[in-house]
A and B are shown apart, each in its own frame.
Chain A
Amino acid sequence: MAQIGYSEKVMEHFMNPRNVGTIENPDGYGKVGNPVCGDVMEMFISVEDDTISDIKFRTFGCGSAIATSSMVTELAKGKHIDEAMEITRKDVADELDGLPPRKMHCSNLAADALHGAIEDYKSKKVGK
């Protein structure tokens, strides 16, 4: 049967998003999207021994944009940065029991924001 609307998991993450907020002086920061398209996500990470010890997000976008952001923070927390870099958009969607087809692209930028934050951390580390 074709999927109608959002999965229960998407709605659950939309209603109770994990890890909402910001981190002061984060080790890495990533931001993707733009308000014209209707999706902006920012991701803050704290890193200890190349492992993501804390992660927070803020998102402007539709229900699935919030759910994917929340899910990606759950997936990344506690992971080594190399492992976290391998989290794909598809992983996030799968973990949420799927997204409606037309939402696959625009609202599923959360993995990109995470990767951006990790890249930011890596570039700062090189600079130190």
Chain B
Amino acid sequence: MRQIYLDHASAMPIDPRVLEFAKRYVTNDFGNPSSLHSAGLTAKRAIEDARQRVAELINAEDETCIIFTSGATESNNMAIKGTALRNIRKGKRVAASAIEHISVLNPAKEFQKSGFELTLIPVDQTGIVDIGKLADILTEDTTVTSIMYANNEIGTIEPIQEINEIVHEKGLYLHVDTTAAAGRIPIDVQNDGIDLLTLSSNDMYGPQGCGALYIKPGVKLQPVLPGGGQERGLRSGTENLFAIAGMGEAARIAKDEMGQESERLKGMRDKLIDEISKIEESYLTGHPTQRLPHHASFRFSRIEGENILLNMDMYNIQVATGSACTSRTLEPSHVLLAVGLKHEEAHGSMVMTLGRSNNAEEIPIITKAVKETVQRLRMLTPM
């Protein structure tokens, strides 16, 4: 059976062009960018080229706004902790939407132990941040408000422009996690009024173990990883040259090809949603239209998500779920609970994220497998 991989939100392959471009930085041109000899300068040039490409993807003011990190988790930690600590005189409060990734929520929760307050911003049933409530609950002692550009589990795209206006009326900085959105939909930090922005390399076909944080000129944050002073002193440690060069190339390709590729995936996504929604007691999760072009997510009554995942894997189709049974804590996804699902409803979730390897011919194979999976699992259930 041919593999149909539908879990691009979890991991993506490196684009072959990225691999080809970057491999010389682990074979021939492997110098340390901090070295002054020619090998070091070659490496340094590669890093600065990559910085330029990443800056262009999000229309940053200039390339110096980009700091390379080890991935989205580090970028998110840096954005929350770095700004909260550096701007403590403004207040000891951070805010985040209830559907943020745990690498935003957990650092914020950890800070609660040191006397910081966390404001959780609710979302509606489609996952859109409640703009009215946002204006009501944000207080002036809030240093950083973190709202993701789009959610990885339900695909909902947030109205960042509107959010930006409210956040800047009261709080200090707006941090936006674009792990799920970058390379999929256009992002413009200047137009969207973003102060800090998280990017992940692997989520746009770049190497794993690399990410970036955009920091708007003038935004102040404290280094969370002190050491040799790389990356403007904000993120020490010898640069991950191969991955950074690869991320730059991935950003360049994403910028060039995003429009066409997103249209292609959107067509497939809509067919998946149409077909799978025909299954009895199946429901789309997230927003019907304000939605990532490659993202289709559902829940099914009376069956459980881990079983859906395992059963689909028998067809060599890989999907994801927010079911409690697959989480380390055995708690259902906080995202599904935040959009108002009950525990027993959240158990039946299935998430499909499309990518470059997928094509329209796969759609009937996928929908048939989903129908058979749901039917089989419902035969087993006492509910």
Interface residues of A (CB under 8 A from B): 6, 11, 14-15, 17, 20, 31, 35-38, 40-42, 58-63, 65-66, 102, 106-107
Contacts and interface: CB of A to CB of B under 8 A. Distances in A.
Residue from A15, A59, A62, A66 with most neighbouring chain B CB atoms (10 Å): A62
B1 interface: no
Contacts of A11: 310
Interface in B314-329: 314, 323-326, 328
Contacts of A6: 310
Contact of B380 (A31, A58, A102, A106): A58
Given A20-B380, A60-B381, A61-B325, 9 more contacts: A35-B343, A36-B342, A36-B343, A37-B343, A58-B382, A59-B380, A62-B304, A62-B325, A106-B325
Contacts, number: 66
Q: List 9 tightest A-B contacts by C-beta distance, closest first.
A: A62-B325, A35-B344, A58-B382, A62-B306, A36-B343, A60-B381, A42-B382, A63-B310, A38-B347
Residue from A11, A14, A60 with most neighbouring chain B CB atoms (10 Å): A60
B374 to A, nearest CB: 13
A60 B383 contact: yes
What is the interface residue range for chain B against chain A?
A: 20 to 34
Contacts of B302: 60
A17 B380 contact: yes
13 contacts: A14-B307, A35-B347, A38-B325, A38-B344, A40-B382, A59-B381, A59-B382, A60-B381, A61-B325, A62-B323, A63-B306, A63-B310, A106-B330
Contacts of A62: 304, 306-307, 323, 325-326
Contact of A38 (B323, B328, B379): B323
Nearest to A36: B343
A102 B328 contact: yes
B314 A35 contact: no
A35 B302 CA distance: 9
Interface string B346-358: 0100000000000
Nearest to A70: B380
Contacts of A14: 307, 310
B303 interface: yes
B305 to A, nearest CB: 8
Interface of B: 302-304, 306-307, 310, 314, 323-326, 328, 330, 332, 342-344, 347, 379-383
B160 to A, nearest CB: 34
Nearest to B327: A102
A58 B343 contact: no
Contacts of B383: 35, 40, 60
A66 B307 contact: yes
Nearest to A21: B379
Contacts of B324: 37-38
A58 B302 CA distance: 12
B251 to A, nearest CB: 34
Contact of A61 (B304, B310, B343): B304
Nearest to B376: A15
A11 B328 CA distance: 20
A42 B12 CA distance: 40
A37 B323 CA distance: 11
B330 A60 contact: no
A62 B314 CA distance: 15
Contact of A58 (B304, B310, B381): B381
A118 to B, nearest CB: 18
B194 to A, nearest CB: 38
Nearest to A20: B380
Nearest to B309: A63
